[in-house]
């Protein structure tokens, strides 16, 4: 079988496994107070061009989203996002569980939010006569890349950031798959750019070669007060923090993080082009990253499922479904070549 259903089903990038094995017998401090975590933070600060950035290592994307947003929001405040936003659909209400409402903007096929619609929503909240009875939008949440694999341009993020500042909101960037955006053709966003244009973002490891872990970045020494204790209160302070730190220290050595992204993105482009080449499917939207969404007929989907594992994402029309195909660090050229032979024979 060929597996294109997920980018974190395999273990970890070999470079990480090698370093974990090499350092396994070493003594290290706990809760992230170790030389590997310190080194990783320094490498990330250098990559962000921000020597004062506050950095915290958490276990996964849901925890990074829920805990950071909870710490940044007051009890009466909520977070604005696209209807397809990960926190709105795929995290089992984790943000709502912390007591904060998610406020949804209009839907768009590319998964992005629109600055004009954001402005209208935030302005309406400010001008409402009964706003003391309402949840106040205080953070705008975007994902880079989006849930459909598309990426924001730097200009789009700049404008969203300006709208946020105009309305005294903060901008939060979910970077669970950030490596695949950084490595994408046409991308003009960098970590330095993010450090200057948002109030918090995280660098995803789990989906980009690590066995687990996300690096939450608060630029310019702006972490919420006692955020470390806040993490512990939420039950996600990892005692053996060295392992998260070591993974990010490895990912940010010799450009490995962006290299993983470029590798997966290149194979994903080959993958989607094969469906078009052999006339068996069309992409829903143009994605330059590792997630590709293809419209397949029920017959094609059934035949393909005999040899390929992928996700049925949603209904396109009565005779077709939208299916997701994902590549990762572990995807090989041989996988793509085998897929071509399968599609060619259909």
Q: What is the pLDDT of residues 49-108, one digit of tens each?
A: 999 999 999 999 999 999 999 999 999 999 999 999 999 999 999 999 999 999 999 999
d(CA 98, CA 113): 24
**pLDDT higher than 90, residue 238:** yes
- The runs of H, that is alpha helices, within the chain are 14-22, 35-48, 61-72, 86-89, 94-97, 115-127, 154-166, 178-182, 191-197, 227-233, 242-251, 256-277, 298-304, 333-344
User: What DSSP character marks residue 220?
Assistant: G
Q: Are 114 and 141 in contact (CB under 8 A)?
A: no
Q: Are 105 and 82 in contact (CB under 8 A)?
A: yes
pLDDT digits (tens, 9 = 90+) for 215-228: 999 999 999 999 99
pLDDT digits (tens, 9 = 90+) for 296-344: 999 999 999 999 999 999 999 999 999 999 999 999 999 999 999 999 9
Q: Which two tokens stand for residue 217?
A: 């970045």
d(CA 299, CA 293): 17
Mean predicted lDDT score pLDDT of the chain = 96
Q: Are 195 and 219 in contact (CB under 8 A)?
A: yes
d(CA 295, CA 190): 32
d(CA 206, CA 200): 18
Percentage of the residues of the chain whose pLDDT score is greater than 70: 100
Structural element, H or E, at residue 102 = strand 102-104
User: What DSSP character marks residue 307?
Assistant: T
Give the model's pLDDT for residue 131. 83
The confidence band for 8, taking pLDDT boundaries of 50, 70 and 90, is very high
Q: Are 285 and 293 in contact (CB under 8 A)?
A: yes
Q: Are 329 and 15 in contact (CB under 8 A)?
A: no
User: What DSSP character marks residue 296?
Assistant: E
**pLDDT higher than 90, residue 260:** yes
CA 215 to chain centre: 11
Percentage of the residues of the chain whose pLDDT score is greater than 90: 97
Coil, strand, or helix at residue 219?
A: helix
Q: Are 57 and 37 in contact (CB under 8 A)?
A: yes
Q: Residue 185 pairs with which residues in a beta bridge?
A: none
**Phi, psi at 215, each rounded to 5°:** -105, 110
**pLDDT higher than 90, residue 115:** yes
Domains of the chain, each with CATH number or no CATH: 2-7+257-344 (3.90.1150.10), 15-255 (3.40.640.10)
**Segment 192-202 mean pLDDT:** 98
CB within 8 A of 273, min separation 6: which ones? none
End-to-end CA gap in the chain: 16
d(CA 236, CA 87): 18
Q: Which two tokens stand for residue 338?
A: 């085998």
d(CA 90, CA 248): 25
Give the model's pLDDT for residue 145. 98
**pLDDT higher than 90, residue 180:** yes
The confidence band for 346, taking pLDDT boundaries of 50, 70 and 90, is confident
Coil, strand, or helix at residue 137?
A: strand
C-alpha separations of 159 from 155, 163, 171 in Å: 6, 6, 11
The radius of gyration of the chain's CA atoms, rounded to the nearest angstrom, is 21
> Could you tell me whether strands 320-326 and 291-297 are parallel, antiparallel, or unpaired per DSSP bridges?
antiparallel
């Amino acid at each position: 079988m060929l597996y294109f259903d997920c980018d974190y089903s395999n273990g970890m990038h070999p470079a990480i496994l090698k370093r974990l094995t090499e350092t396994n017998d070493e003594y290290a401090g706990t809760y992230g107070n170790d030389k590997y975590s310190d080194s990783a933070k320094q490498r990330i600060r250098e990559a962000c061009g921000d020597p004062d950035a506050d950095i915290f290592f958490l276990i996964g994307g849901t925890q990074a989203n829920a805990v950071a947003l909870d710490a940044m929001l007051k009890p009466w405040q909520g977070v604005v996002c696209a209807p397809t936003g990960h926190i709105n659909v795929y995290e089992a209400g984790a943000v709502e569980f912390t007591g904060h409402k998610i406020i949804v903007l209009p839907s768009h096929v590319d998964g992005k939010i629109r600055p004009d619609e954001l402005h209208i929503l935030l302005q309406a909240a400010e001008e409402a006569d009964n706003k003391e009875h309402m949840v106040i939008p205080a953070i705008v949440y975007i994902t880079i890349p989006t849930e459909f694999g598309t990426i924001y341009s730097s200009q789009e993020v700049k404008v969203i950031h300006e709208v946020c500042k105009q309305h005294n909101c903060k901008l939060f960037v979910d970077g669970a798959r950030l490596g695949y955006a950084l490595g994408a053709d046409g991308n003009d966003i960098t970590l330095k750019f993010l450090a200057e244009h948002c109030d918090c973002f995280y660098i995803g490891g789990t989906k980009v070669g690590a066995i687990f872990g996300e690096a939450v970045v608060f630029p310019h020494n702006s972490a919420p007060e006692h955020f470390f204790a806040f993490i512990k209160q939420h039950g996600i302070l990892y005692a053996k923090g060295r392992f998260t730190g070591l993974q990010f220290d490895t990912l940010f050595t010799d450009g490995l993080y962006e290299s993983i992204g470029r590798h997966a993105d290149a194979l994903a482009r080959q993958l989607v082009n094969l469906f078009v080449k052999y006339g068996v499917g069309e992409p829903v939207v143009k994605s330059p990253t590792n997630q590709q969404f293809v419209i397949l007929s029920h017959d094609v989907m059934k035949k393909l499922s005999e040899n390929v594992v992928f996700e049925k994402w949603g209904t396109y029309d009565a005779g077709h479904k939208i299916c997701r195909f994902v590549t990762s660090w572990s995807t090989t050229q041989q996988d793509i070549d085998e897929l071509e032979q399968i599609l060619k024979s259909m």
